[in-house]
A and B are shown apart, each in its own frame.
Chain A
Amino acid sequence: MSRSKAQLQATDIRTRPYRSGDEGQIVNLLNTCFGDWGTLEKWRFLYSEYPTFTESDIVILEADGKIIAHGGIHFRNLVVKQHALRTATLSDAAIHPRQRGKGLYTKLVKARLREANSKGACLALTWHLRGSNAYEHNRKTGFVEIRQSPVYMKIIRPEKVLIAGLFDLLHKNQRLRWALEDIKVDLCLRVGEVEFGIADLLSKNKARVKKGKTKMQIVFAKDSLLIMANFRNMSKFEKMRNLVLLILLRRIKVKFGSFKGFLSLVCESGKIVRFM
Chain B
Amino acid sequence: MSQVKLFASCNLTIRNYRPEDLPHILELADYTLAQGPHFVRDEGLLKHLIRYSHTREGRVFVATAHDEIKGLAIVLIELGEHGLRFGNIVELEAIDVPTFHALIQACHKYSISMDVDAIITAPPPGITSNSILNDWLPFETGVMMGRILSFPFLLEELLRANEREMQKHFLGKSFVFRVDDECVKVESTGDKVTIGKANAEPEGNDIVLTMSHQAFSKIILCRANLLKAWLTRKVKIKGTRNVFSVFRLLGILRLTDRVYVSNADRL
One of B6-14, B15-23, B61-69, B218-226 at the interface: B218-226
Is B83 an interface residue when CB atoms closer than 8 A count as contact? Answer: yes
Is A124 an interface residue when CB atoms closer than 8 A count as contact? Answer: yes
Min Cβ gap A166→B in Å is 8
> Taking CB as reference atom, which chain B residue is nearest A126?
B145
B-side interface size class: 35 or more
Is A116 an interface residue when CB atoms closer than 8 A count as contact? Answer: yes
The B-contacting residues of A in range 199-252, CB under 8 angstroms, are: 201, 225-226, 229-230, 233
Docked complex Cα distance between A49 and B51 (Å): 11
Min Cβ gap A76→B in Å is 5
Q: A113-B149, A156-B119, A161-B84 are in contact. Are A230 and B38 (CB under 8 A)?
A: no
Is A79 an interface residue when CB atoms closer than 8 A count as contact? Answer: yes
Is A149 an interface residue when CB atoms closer than 8 A count as contact? Answer: yes
User: B123 to chain A: which residues have CB within 8 Å?
Assistant: 149-150, 152
User: B266 to chain A: which residues have CB within 8 Å?
Assistant: 127, 151
Docked complex Cα distance between A147 and B122 (Å): 14
Residues B34 and A144 in contact, CB atoms below 8 Å apart: no
> Taking CB as reference atom, which chain A residue is nearest B49?
A45
Q: Number of A interface residues, CB 8 Å?
A: 70
Cβ-closest 3 pairs across A and B = A83-B161, A51-B44, A164-B84
Residues B145 and A149 in contact, CB atoms below 8 Å apart: no
Min Cβ gap A239→B in Å is 13
User: B39 to chain A: which residues have CB within 8 Å?
Assistant: 76-79
Could you write out 17 A-B pairs with CB less than 8 Å apart?
A36-B80, A45-B48, A52-B44, A79-B33, A122-B153, A125-B144, A125-B145, A143-B147, A149-B123, A151-B139, A152-B120, A152-B133, A153-B119, A156-B112, A161-B84, A163-B84, A168-B81
Docked complex Cα distance between A120 and B157 (Å): 12
User: B136 to chain A: which residues have CB within 8 Å?
Assistant: 152-154
Min Cβ gap A156→B in Å is 6
